[in-house]
Amino acid sequence: MKLKFEVFDCLCEMSVFEINDIDADKNDFGTQQDESRETAEQYGCGNMRFSRRPSTPEVLSKYGITENEYDEVCDKLEAGLSFGCCGWCV
């Protein structure tokens, strides 16, 4: 698998996300959301987390990856897009 993955300095999004030369969509792999909005500053995040979802044959086929490669992508997304609280947008 050829994976290009770079997170913007602001943490919330990726500047580059390609799998096997295909522009990738993080939503194919899971969801990213603030799991603690009530503790966040206005326009900030209380506990931003990326949570993987189970693979589907359609996603594996779309990117030409195996189940193990899917897990590898999800590991990178969880590590890169889960960062707890943040006040950058304040």
Confidence (pLDDT) at 87: 66
10-32, pLDDT tens digit by residue? 667 888 999 999 999 999 999 99
Quick check: 44 and 88 in contact, CB under 8 A? yes
Number of domains in the chain: 1
Confidence (pLDDT) at 49: 84
- The Cα–Cα gap between 85 and 49 comes to 10
Of the candidates 87, 86, 73, the residue with the CA atom closest to the CA atom of residue 30: 73
pTM, 2 dp: 0.84
Q: Residue 52 is part of which domain span?
A: 3-86
